[in-house]
């Protein structure tokens, strides 16, 4: 197994990622297939240190990973992230050992749509009930008031069907 500096990446005609690495000097540049766990597709930025190894096929080597910089995950945690070409963090998903998951940050919270919608609809019903009580009180005092509970609460456009939670 050896370490090499990543120069660039490209795809071959079969859409396999090739990693161009600088091994032992300017005349030792190699294009090698990248290997990664199934279901993960990431593309390293320039100057990442690639780990590559020879295969059982003579003269064939494969890039098996990269030495990550600024790792933050604690034992038992899993973190995925993206960067720009300069390596500046742009977005992450961090599954933490305490049972929480951060999606892009930890400043705000996601909400449970069904429970939020249920609470808002109950709040609307409570307001309608109170408006009816107010109308009855005004009528008892000799005035008139007709409640107009025609307002609606519709948060359906805020529902994201592609992301589910507990």
φ, ψ at 11 (rounded to 5°)? -120, 145
Average pLDDT, the chain: 89
Burial class (CB in 10 A: 0-12, 13-18, 19+), 32: buried
Helix residue spans in 3-158 (DSSP H): 113-140
Instruction: Answer for the pair 29, 22: CB distance below 8 angstroms, yes or no.
Output: yes
pLDDT for residue 57: 85
pLDDT, tens only, 67-100: 988 789 999 999 999 999 999 999 999 999 999 9
Integer Cα distance of 61 and 75 in angstroms? 31
Write down the residue that tokens 């190699």 correspond to.
Answer: 30
pLDDT tier, 149 (very low <50, low <70, confident <90, very high otherwise): low
Residue among 153, 160, 78 at smallest CA distance from 111: 160
Going by C-alpha positions, the residue among 159, 135, 157 that lies closest to residue 148 is: 135
């Amino acid at each position: 197994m050896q370490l090499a500096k990543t120069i660039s990446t490209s795809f071959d005609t079969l859409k396999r990622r090739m990693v161009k690495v600088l091994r032992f000097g300017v005349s030792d540049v190699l294009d090698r297939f990248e290997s990664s766990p199934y279901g993960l597709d990431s593309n390293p930025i320039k100057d990442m240190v690639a780990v590559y190894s020879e295969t059982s096929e003579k003269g064939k080597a494969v890039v098996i990973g990269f030495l990550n910089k600024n790792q933050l995950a604690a034992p038992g945690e899993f973190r995925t992230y993206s960067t720009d070409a300069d390596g500046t963090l742009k977005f992450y998903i961090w599954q933490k050992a305490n049972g929480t998951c951060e999606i892009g940050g930890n400043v705000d919270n996601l909400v449970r749509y069904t429970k939020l919608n249920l609470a808002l609809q109950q709040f609307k019903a409570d307001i309608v009930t109170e408006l009816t009580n107010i109308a009855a009180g005004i009528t008892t005092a000799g005035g008139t008031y007709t409640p107009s509970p025609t307002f609606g609460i519709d948060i359906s456009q805020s529902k994201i069907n592609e992301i589910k939670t507990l």
